[in-house]
Structure 1
Amino acid sequence: MTFVDFVAQVFGGEELGRVSTEDGLIGHGEIRVGDTVVPAFDRHADWPRMPSLLRVFVADPFGNIWWGVSYVEDVSEAEMWRRRRDPVYEAIRVVQETLDAELSGQAHGRSSAPVRAIS
């Protein structure tokens, strides 16, 4: 059972989607619980265990990591993959690597490229 499955089951939520990564983890998932969409992703084994992770990315002077997300638009899966090739979305890789470096304590973080779902 993944974290996404757990949240959906325990809170009576509905999984809206997930993006698997090349290392087999969930790079991004969304669960609707009531009128709230909860984003989630798998932790890497070398990240510290935490009770939760709010997706806001800003490093503050207290050592906290914040990730901010907001809804922009719904897009089809085909459009998502088209945009993924656009260089402007390179920032996503940088965010993933920076978060991983902070949580793992490594000098350089990892990012995981998404893989298409097998139909």
Structure 2
Amino acid sequence: MAHKVVPEPAKGDGVTQQVRRIPDGYHAVTPYVIVKGAAEFVAFMEKAFGATDRGQVLNDDGTVGHAEVQIADSVVMTFDAKPDWPATPGFLTLYVEDCDAVHQAALDAGATTVTPLSTNAWGDRGSRIRDPFGNIWWIQSHVEDVPEEEIMRRMADEAFGADMAVSAETLDREIRGIGRQR
């Protein structure tokens, strides 16, 4: 879908200029993840996901007031939570070329597995991890285009059903654990 360009009057000369309402490099939805330790969160995303640091603005006390990283074609924004703020974990989906390798890189960077790697009925292979900051990431690779009829057939298959049960149970356990961590 193309971004809509809306004319905006130029300052002073009365000439209309075309201004993109969504700046280059951004998407209509851009996650903003608030963590305790934003600089370390940026370093985690660099190591785990190959993110590129787009810049950081520091507050007078040295905390991060705003930071952005580029992961593939998307931007993730972050800043440091205030000391008295409760944890506010994010839930993010990351599509990658090789989810097995990225899953391992995330573990090497300090993440823990929430849901083990598996291939689902609709053709995505993936896992879930919890990063050291409490955010849950779905790491996925689309490995097969599956027609809807085949998806429905697979969903009735015992092996795919068991996989879906593991997926639901591990996420439920993780989210219930978040409530106990506060």
TM range (shorter): 0.3 to 0.5
Larger CA Rg, structure 1 vs 2: 2
Q: TM-score, normalised by structure 1?
A: 0.41
Q: Compare the two structures and name the one with the higher strand fraction.
A: 2
Relative contact order, CA 8 A, sep 6+: which one is greater? 1
Q: TM-score, normalised by structure 2?
A: 0.27
